[in-house]
Amino acid sequence: MDRRTLLKTLSAITAGATLSAPAFAAPKLRLKLGTVTATEHPITLAAKDAANAIGTATGNDVSLRIFPNSQLGSDMDMLSQVRSGALDMVVISSVVLSNLVPSTSIVGTGFAWQDYGKVWSAMDGELGTTIKKAIEEKGLYCVGRIWDMGFRQITSSEKRITTPEDLKGFKIRIPPADIWVSLFQSLNASPANITWAETYSALQTRIADGQENPLTPIYFSKMYEVQKYVSMTGHMWDGMWIVVSKERWQKIPADQRALIEKAIDTAGASQRIKSEELNQSLRIELQNKGMTFIDVDRSLFHKHLTNTGYYKKMKEKYNPEIWSAMEKYTGKLA
């Protein structure tokens, strides 16, 4: 082969490589999503599943990079970043989101939910629709349906929490949202607003006697190293919305938005199932780590809250429309 023929051959090969390059090209749209959940938490894993599905569905035109474990700050830090345009999406607790959208905290009404069946009927039905509308009024868009954080339980370092009376004067770490303050003050506890990133050290140094969370964060954040008892109160359910600013969302082409939302919703449906299963299985894991479980009579706590006027105050806190939407699924509370 002479030099001229060789150059033509190499040129043809190069042209062919260029034509096939889009399969390996860098994404045209790069999105970032932040979450406070640990790397192995079901929510983080589901977000990664969604990211993989988005890459596949869009032919790698869109990438979604996940930042777990509060790498980008607290829930509220990341929400501020989303609103300012510094971050594309955040996975945020419905109750924590109430710092911006007050009505979202209604899902955290104490001892309101009987089981997951009632929760999902409400959140995929009228209550969820009403909450999403309130979120959109603040310039945010909920991508897909709400994901599961789980039913929250109370842990303590020394005291066994069995009845409402056991919470009197109990220093309990709570997230920075008013609904937790209302609940635990009504139970005569001493709530302390502490960010999740600071919770372990607060328990270790006894700034707080205990905390409350679903079993998944208790396990993945190694709370068993600084807490001994788990009281299965199931006092509150909380879910996680994936939110993006409406302005940012509208800048994404409609066909890509559809694929992104479908991938996130599919991952969320699977996450709900896995989260419930994991919260059930982790009881054994945490017992093996040295934690003692206490099954409580939830009706005692519900009765105490009714007698103290807690539900009446909660009803006054929310507009009639959203309270009525919730009671269609929980039954009459006040």
CB 72 within 8 A of CB 34: yes
Per-residue pLDDT at 167: 98
Q: What's the CA gap between 70 and 85, in Å, rounded?
A: 18
How is 143-211 classified by DSSP, letter by letter?
-SSPEEEEEEEEEESS----SGGGGTT-EEEE-S-HHHHHHHHHTT-EEEE--HHHHHHHHHTTSSSEE
| Six token digits for residue 315 | 């009803």
Collapse the DSSP code of 129 into the 3-class scheme (helix H, G, I; strand E, B; otherwise coil) and give the result: helix
Pairing of strands 147-156, 210-213: antiparallel
Question: How many Cα atoms within 13 Å fall on the side-chain side of residue 80?
Answer: 7
pTM of the model: 0.85
End-to-end CA distance of the chain: 91
How is 224-252 classified by DSSP, letter by letter?
GGT--EEEEEEEEEEEEEEEEEHHHHHHS
Q: Tens-of-pLDDT digits for all 334 residues of the chain?
A: 554 443 344 344 344 443 443 445 678 999 999 999 989 899 999 999 999 999 999 999 999 999 999 999 999 999 999 999 999 999 999 988 999 999 999 999 999 999 999 999 999 999 999 999 999 999 999 999 999 999 999 999 999 999 999 999 999 999 878 899 999 999 999 999 998 889 999 999 999 999 999 999 899 899 999 999 999 999 999 999 999 999 999 999 999 999 999 999 999 999 999 999 998 899 999 999 999 999 999 999 999 999 999 999 999 999 999 999 999 999 999 8
Query: CA dist 24 to 17, 18, 256, Å?
Result: 11, 10, 19
Per-residue pLDDT at 270: 96
Per-residue pLDDT at 10: 39
How is 258-276 classified by DSSP, letter by letter?
HHHHHHHHHHHHHHHHHHH
